[in-house]
Structure 1
Amino acid sequence: MTFFKGQEELDLTDGGIIKPLFYLSLPIVITNLLQTAYNLADTFWLGRYSTEALAAISFAFPMVFLLISLGLGLSVAGSVLVAQHTGAGEPAKAEYAASQTVTFAFLGSALLGAIGYPLVGPLLEFLGASPAVLPGATAYMQVIALGLPFMFGFFVFIALMRGAGDTITPMLVMFGTVVLNVILDPFLINGWAIGPIAFPQLGIEGAAIATVFSRSIAMVVGLVIMESGTRGIQINISDMKPDFGYLRKLLEIGVPASIEGTGRALSINLLLLVVGLFSTSVVAAFGIGTRVFSVIFLPAIAVARGVETMSGQNIGAGKYDRAEQANYVAAKGLFAILALAGVLIFFVPEPIVSVFTDDPAVLETGTEFLRYVSLSFGFIGIMRAFTGGFRGAGKTLIAAAISILTLAGIRLPIAYVASRGVVPVDIWFLAQPDARGIWFAFFVSNVVGAVIAWLWFRRGSWRDGDVREPVQSGGLEREDVDASTGDD
């Protein structure tokens, strides 16, 4: 038996829950790790090029994340529709959903890039980029803005294949992308030569070109795979003519997902304003802690994506009880795994922080941060599992509400109030400025967010989340297409 299973070997609507969810989620974990390696490659080579380039990428990365968050919605919408039509045994409708998603993702990202290109410089200046850093950061972001259609195209490929239940193929394509980017980075950044071929020394702009080029290749490979129909979902040229009636359905599902991603990004940046009120050692400790969290939570993010697909396919198949079971299995499993990881980190946080720093003040504060938050890790798993279920049901607005409420409505105000000593009572550290108030806010928001997600899921509002509807293509109902091809 192979360790990874292809989409054709996975039946997400019948049999056990744990095995298909595992085989669906594991490649997503690896894909996300490869994405992390992708970012580390840029940071590694730019750090050796110049300090200004490294600072420029520090300003550019959050903006890239924000742009991607704005475009996240269409990929989520496409994934949900493909999953539900696949579960319902409606391949032609799934293909139409995938084809329309590709079309509008390309058009939307091109428009976003055109709007963003002239604005990145002023925005980076507003965010505080110094005169030494601003030119490099602007050059990087302008290349990214021009390349947004290719970057979005690759993310849409990943999402559509996942909706069909294939997470292996995107993982393999991502691996090739990372290898290509790692190879190109030093040549385009430093101007290295291969024999008679000399590359120009482009600095940070070279890193952006390497990123866009490698993602462009990945997008083309993804489109070829989907057009061939040999893996996962198929797209059809005849179905790619813009259907603005169908765009409305994509936006109904996708806009809340974009709001969720954008709200998450903005909440994180606003929290930095609170952290920045403290010493450099606190800021550094916060940065180390959040990087540790990003690795620890990779399984939760991957399983949430797996739950999204399983929920979508089972809702499409009318198997609501099975969709519910998948959510609870994922929530319980993630809680157990992440809670165990949290307990281990609680007892030995210092060795983890020491990997990143030998500064005694940062080491002490970072250790304290991990201890405060680690025992709430399991609750993150619960929240991620149920929000994945809501997305799979097409209830992206609920998923967005839970995420934004947790981060902006709970964590951010508690972090400010508890850390600034504005509570006029002598309760623990609340009566005077203390960074522990921020760590306390993480713990509270993780626990409360999990409870909110669980209670909301228990209400059962996700059960009316079948977002499928008849699709028109060239005047022919897609049910007729399914019948003509012999598909049930």
Structure 2
Amino acid sequence: MILGMVMMMSFGLVDTFFVSLLGTEQLAAISFTFPVTFTVISLNIGLGIGTSAIIGKLQGAGAINDSKLYATGSLMLSVLLVGSLAAVGYVLIEPIFKYLNASEALMPYIRDYMGIWYLSSVFLSLPMVGNSVLRACGDTRTPSIIMASGGALNAAMDPILIFGFGPVPAMGIQGAAVATFIAWIFGASWIIWLLAVRRELMIPRLLNLAEFKRSSKEVLRIGLPAAGANMLTPIAGAVMTAIVATYGAEAVAAWGVGNRLESIASIVILSLSMTLPPIISQNIGANLYQRVEQAYVVALKFILVWQVVVFGLLWAASHWIALIFANEQEVARLIKLFLAIVPLGYGMQGVVILTNSSLNAMHRPMTALVLSIIRLFVLFVPVSYIGSVLFDIPGLFWGNVIANVIMAVISYCIFKQMLKKHRTS
């Protein structure tokens, strides 16, 4: 899972690197897109969580025909919902990014990138949800290979399409979106062939209305709260981007680079958040609550130590990272400042993420959703904003860390309370 997640997250990081070579305005433009693109990706993640929970239960019960039905319904549902969200986003490109404080100078770059990206997002939904079907059926290797292959294809196409090569014209920032589009079409074709033909894990046809309603209802019951919790992160990120934008394009560029690096730095957390839930749900079903608690606590201990190591590496390499991603001295300075402060809170953020994924595995998606709301809109945004008002950009960065520490303590206490309820129910 770590290998697959690294390659999946590399989409944004590789795009950011090559676009940064075009200039600060293009780097700032792609930085503005991050909270918006992650909103769409978060919907896919939530639908994948619901799909995995339902398919895994049906496979365990031996209900293979129902499993195929729900797999097909989940894929159809993801295309419908993501396509609808992308269509709305496409129509509202200018209002959304003006709300995020994007300047008129950046809007042409944002339109070039997002116009293609929204179209490609429909194809992203198929491999993301389809990979959840494979994992629920016991295969974690193939999803990683699919994600890794897509990331490698994206990385190979980026410089060709952005800067041009031979008969291929230079497309600038739009080339990064086209490279992603090609990679996702490749992944979508692969996963549909695997599920429908090679593995026969889905019904190779469109469902009728009755079948679609039946399969969608169960997936949405878990998937919608999970998607909502995930979609809150980019919404809060959009608010934070608007706050950072008041400090200028250089600050937004540095913030965007920091967010991309955070995705890579948190790769072990995200991989654990996808592998811990099956252990939690299986042992909850077997009433082995001590094993549930042991798995949860071991994961937290490991991630806290691991992220301290990650912080040390990022801090030590901050000078070279800034040189890679920044053409201007001020952008480089802010990137180094970000890496000296914000990664201190990644371990505590990991506690929150693993707690939420465990709560979903315990069929407590609404509790996870409430915790996400508290984390982002009661702590993360307000504390960071207050920090920026009192201590400028460094205060905003330290506000990130403080919010994560407080939320980690709250999350741990809530998990213990929910586990106690399961034991006594």
Normalised-by-shorter TM-score class: 0.7 to 0.9
Aligned equivalents of 1:453 and 1:292: distance in 2?
Answer: 25
Quick one: structure 1 residues 218 and 253, their matched pair in 2 at CA, closer, same or farther if it must change by over 3 Å? same
> 1:32-181 residue pairs with structure 2 within 5 A?
32-48=5-21, 53-181=26-154
Distance in 1 of aligned mates of 2:422 and 2:15: 44
Contact map agreement 2:39 2:234 (CA 8 A) in 1: yes
Within the alignment, does 1:357 sit opposite 2:322 as a pair? yes
Partners of 2:205 and 2:421 lie apart in 1 by: 33
Residues 190-244 of structure 1: per-residue CA shift (max 9 Å, x gap):
4433xxxx335443333322211221111110111112454xx811236844421
With the length of structure 2 as denominator, give the TM-score of the two structures: 0.84
| 1:108-159 Cα shifts (integer Å, max 9, x gaps) | 2232333333222443344344444323321322222223321111211222
Q: Given that residues 79 and 125 in structure 2 are in contact (C-alpha distance below 8 angstroms), is that contact kept between their aligned partners in structure 1?
A: yes
1:156-213 CA-partner distances (Å, limit 9, x unpaired): 12222233332211111122222322333344334433xxxx3354433333222112
Q: In structure 2, what is the Cα distance between the partners aligned to 1:121 and 1:360?
A: 30
CA deviation after TM superposition for structure 1 residue 78, in Å: 0.5
* 1:333-366 per-position Cα deviation (integer Å, ceiling 9, x unaligned): 2223224545x46xx93x3221233788777776
Which deviates more, 292-301 or 273-282? 273-282
Separation in 1 of the partners of 2:197 and 2:46? 25
Letter in 1 for 2:359: F
Amino acid corresponding to residue 265 of structure 1 in structure 2: P
Of the structure 1 ranges 61-70 and 181-190, higher mean CA displacement relative to structure 2 is found in 181-190
Structure 2: 5+ residue stretches without partners? none
Q: What residue in structure 2 maps to residue 223 of structure 1?
A: 192
Give the % identical residues.
Answer: 27
Match of 2:214 in 1: 245
Checking the alignment, whether the CA contact within 8 Å between 1:395 and 1:462 is kept in structure 2 is: no
CA contact (8 A) 1:84 1:313 kept: no
Contact 2:277/2:361 (<8 A) preserved: yes
CA contact (8 A) 1:288 1:356 kept: no
Q: CA deviation at 1:76?
A: 1.7
Counterpart of 2:157? 184
Q: Classify the secondary structure of the residue corresponding to 2:318.
A: helix
Counterparts in 2 of 1:4-15, with a 5 A limit?
none
> Could you tell me which of 219, 226, 234 is aligned with 1:257?
226
Pick the structure with more helix per residue: 2
TM-score normalized by the length of structure 1: 0.74
CA RMSD of aligned residues (A): 3.3
Count of residue pairs brought into register by the alignment: 417
Partner of 1:17: none
CA displacement 1:225-272 (0-9 Å, x = unmatched): 112454xx8112368444213322222212212221221111122223
Query: What whole-Å deviation, never above 9, does each CA across 1:427-483 have from its counterpart, x for those lacking one?
Result: xxxxxx444433442232222211111111112369769xxxxxxxxxxxxxxxxxx
- The 1:416/1:238 distance shift into structure 2, 3 A limit, reads closer
Other-structure match for 1:236: 203
Q: 1:414 to 1:330 in 2, by over 3 A?
A: same
Q: 1:184 to 1:277 in 2, by over 3 A?
A: closer
Q: Aligned partners of 2:109 and 2:223: how far apart in 1?
A: 33
Asked whether the equivalents of residues 100 and 241 of structure 2 are also in contact (C-alpha less than 8 Å), the reply is no
Partner of 2:414: 456
Instruction: Write the distance in 2 (CA, Å) between the matches of 1:190 and 1:365.
Output: 27
| Residue 184 to residue 327, structure 1, CA distance change in 2 (3 Å) | same
Take 2:319 and 2:246, find their aligned partners in 1: how far apart are those partners?
24
Is 1:381 the equivalent of 2:350? yes
